[in-house]
Amino acid sequence: MELVAMDMKAQGMYLCRTLSFAGTEFEMVEAALEPEMVEMHMCMASKVPCLVRMSQQAIAEGKCVVIGLQSTGEARTADAVAKQGEDLDDFISSPKELLLKLIQDLFPVPPTHGSQDARHELELRKSEMIQTVQELRLPSNPLDELIDLLGGPAQVAEMTGRKARLIRQKGSDRVVLESRNATGVVEGSPMDMINVHERGLFLSGQKLIAIISDAASAGISLHSDRRVQNQRRRVHITLELPWSADKTLQQFGRSHRANQANAPQYRLLFTPLGGERRFASAVARRLEMLGALTQGDRRATAGPSLGQFNYESTWGQRALRAMYAVIMETSKAVSVFVLSVLHAQSAGEIKDRIDVPRFLNRLLGLKPAAQAQLFTVYQDYLEATIAAARREGVFDAGITSIRGRSLTLPEAPKASNAHSLMFASD
């Protein structure tokens, strides 16, 4: 398909217009894990402290901030509010609510199960498990925490699909459930109208921070339009990458459009956790496919260079298979704990040993130190595999531009064939 698109472009039969990225800056930012987050290793929540610092710095430099994410935690919040009421001690922790739901759903105590003593024992064990989960220190919903740390709803324009949110009461540590139309929109207004209202507050400069989810990643312009009051340069920080490449570009396009006073700065936030490369890998592969099929050039999705994160390639599969071969032979490469986690995949069928997404998903179940250890081993194998392919001349680097300072012919050109029509008289 890429070659077909290239041929059509060469013949002038295919045109795909795109906005210039001149002046736009892209940067991959690694969010160092806070000591507390090392114990939890929650990918999204662990980036919140770094994101807050970056946002505050951007505001201090006279810029404004657009934060992109996908999940809002609305479902878990609704479940918790239904059980505990609308006046809570703190923000809801989605991981904790998921664990509690898991226990409730998978550890039922039948009303008639053997003797009364056996049933009592099951109830006691279940209560102990629930109590243990309740005592865990797990991160709050990142969206609620972000809004709270960045000044609350009065300072942050939220453009998402959720209908209500938890906010902290003034002069108190408690939080309460608030309808999102409490920000000045008529009660009962549709979600689109609420988001448009928040967009107006951001473009007028009344709010300098905007948070957008998938619900607001299309059809809403947040760029520094010359026709609006807020013409500060946008710093677009991606907290959570979309799974789809086209949605990624759609979200980037909210802050980069025609007639803008300033080109945006994009900051793609990642953690040192090796498992998070799973999400970047999926987006990188699909961005390349999108450029190849729509513009005849896998590099045509100008902007975020995620090629370094594309592990779902032939070379990524070969590197994984080579790494598993070493794991099966010796345990010196990685720890025994890591081996036990990956044993099912490495000892499984051949297709499982080249399943890169599954490998990266399994990494997320390891502690940060183990993730870093194993991912470093995999990356070393990948680099060695690509280097060997380059030496052998079999590595496909895609479309490349050959540049030179001068062009010299070894001898004068000669005509290899002359058609009779070339010399036809007038």
For residue 99, the cross-strand partners are: none
Q: Tokens standing for 411?
A: 């001898």
Q: What is the mean pLDDT of the chain?
A: 78
The answer to whether 180 touches 143, Cβ cutoff 8 Å, is no
pTM: 0.74
Structurally, how many domains does the chain consist of?
A: 3
Q: What is the mean pLDDT of residues 118-142?
A: 85
pLDDT of residue 144: 92
d(CA 229, CA 209): 15
For residue 65, the cross-strand partners are: 209, 235
On whether both 190 and 313 belong to a single domain, the answer is no
d(CA 195, CA 147): 15
Q: Is residue 413 one of the residues assigned to a domain?
A: no
On whether both 204 and 263 belong to a single domain, the answer is yes
Lowest mean pLDDT segment, chosen from 112-121, 189-198, 264-273: 112-121
Choose one of 134, 159, 182: the last residue of a domain.
134
Residue range 316-328, pLDDT digits in tens: 888 988 888 877 7
Given the DSSP bridges, would you call strands 156-159 and 87-88 parallel, antiparallel or unpaired?
A: unpaired
Tell me the one-letter amino acid at 277. R
The answer to whether 232 touches 208, Cβ cutoff 8 Å, is yes
Q: Tokens standing for 9?
A: 């472009």
Q: What is the mean pLDDT of residues 140-159?
A: 92
On whether both 255 and 284 belong to a single domain, the answer is no
Q: Is residue 211 one of the residues assigned to a domain?
A: yes
On whether both 109 and 231 belong to a single domain, the answer is no
Residue range 252-296, pLDDT digits in tens: 888 988 899 998 998 888 887 766 766 665 665 555 555 544 444
On whether both 73 and 200 belong to a single domain, the answer is yes
Q: Which of residues 214 and 206 earns the better pLDDT score?
A: 206
Per the structure, the complete domain to which residue 147 belongs is given by 42-77+140-269
Q: Tokens standing for 413?
A: 């050109």
Counting Cβ atoms within 10 Å, is residue 299 exposed (0-12), middle (13-18) or buried (19+)?
Answer: middle
The rounded percent of the chain whose pLDDT value lies above 70 is 73
On whether both 299 and 183 belong to a single domain, the answer is no
pLDDT of residue 342: 54
On whether both 159 and 250 belong to a single domain, the answer is yes
